[in-house]
Amino acid sequence: MIRYDLCTLTLFQEPQVHMHFHATLPIMHRLVEKIVEDFVTASPRLLGRQVSMGEVMYEVAGRLGFGERLYDTNFFQMSPAQATAHLMVARESIGLIELYRFSHDPFTAAQTRLLSTLANQVALALRNAYAYRKTQELTLRDGLTGLYNHAAFQDFLEREFETFRRYNRPLSLIMADIDHFKAINDTYGHQTGDFILKELAALGLASVRKSDLLARYGGEEFALILPDTDLARAQILAGRLWQKVQEHRFIHHEEVIPIAISLGIASTGTSEVTRKEELIHAADAALYRAKETGRNRYVVAYGDQVFRCLQDDQPLQSDSAFPRY
């Protein structure tokens, strides 16, 4: 409906800004960088805060040129024709659309009004989509800790296990449990118990990658799904988590609460794990072994009834009292 050479769609989505470029002519990559830099400079006026370059994510649809004279940064700085429309909902700006013509053929008043009408429709659609996604997200979150809940854990693990089966990419799982949590509730009260759960969740979130999923599995038990992670790397991460809990001071109402956790680690790298349920069973069996051998430790499942406690650096052979998996 409106001819353009370059379109940018900028969406203000905390904590990042997303810029989508569509070019109908080959443009230089430096031109894309220049537009991003200009947005960062104007961000206090547009957003009421200064945005850094690191907060801006951008992608380009169309051809990037190499050596074309017309559509580089110097040409762009000669002020091509430009039309801008803000994406506004109830006086809140959620983004903007900008159109450019390198021919200096100006946009007409009718085209500018059409762009504004289009922007209003896009803004409403985006706001509805954001609200729907937020509602969906809330159904997948634990109300106390803000972590993903058991249902989200099962869904994510199902997808990642399918990826493992199809592409043979490693997948690991860590199950963690707070030692003597009932005694903590009985001694300090359930409010302190809730504080411990939230504090431990925050500690875990600060220690994992964006590609991982940390969930409250149930009660005082947590589960950490590690895509593209083999058993050796999962052991390292479990050790770091265990060490962080050891070093962290849990202080509630000016009282230090002694906290320890036990962890069980399992991976898809063994022949016994062919279904996601078996991976859960393996990690849970390793966690059970950690509890039975003294707590406050992390234990690795190495296959059919073989466990190893990393702190003791000694293989632990399970007996008939422990389940097979």
Q: Answer yes or no: are the C-beta atoms of 147 and 222 closer than 8 Å.
A: yes
Q: Of 14, 22, 90, 21, which is closest to residue 47 (Cα–Cα)?
A: 14
Catalytic residue chosen out of the listed positions 98, 160, 199, 220: 220
Q: Where are the alpha helices (DSSP H) in the chain?
A: 29-47, 73-76, 109-139, 150-167, 181-188, 190-205, 231-247, 276-292
Tally of CB atoms within 10 A around 79:
7
R_g of the chain computed on alpha carbons: 27
Q: Is 160 a catalytic residue?
A: no
Question: Within 13 A of 140's CA, how many CA atoms are on the CB side?
Answer: 15
Angle, to 10 degrees, between the axis of helix 190-205 and the axis of helix 231-247?
130
**CA distances in angstroms from 259 to 61, 169, 238, 311, listed in the order given:** 51, 35, 16, 18
Q: How far is CA 109 from the centre of its chain?
A: 43
286-306 b/e (C-beta count within 10 Å ≥ 16 → b): bbbbbeeeeebbbbbbbeebe
Whole-angstrom distance, CA of residue 94 vs CA of residue 87: 6
- Give the active site residues: 220
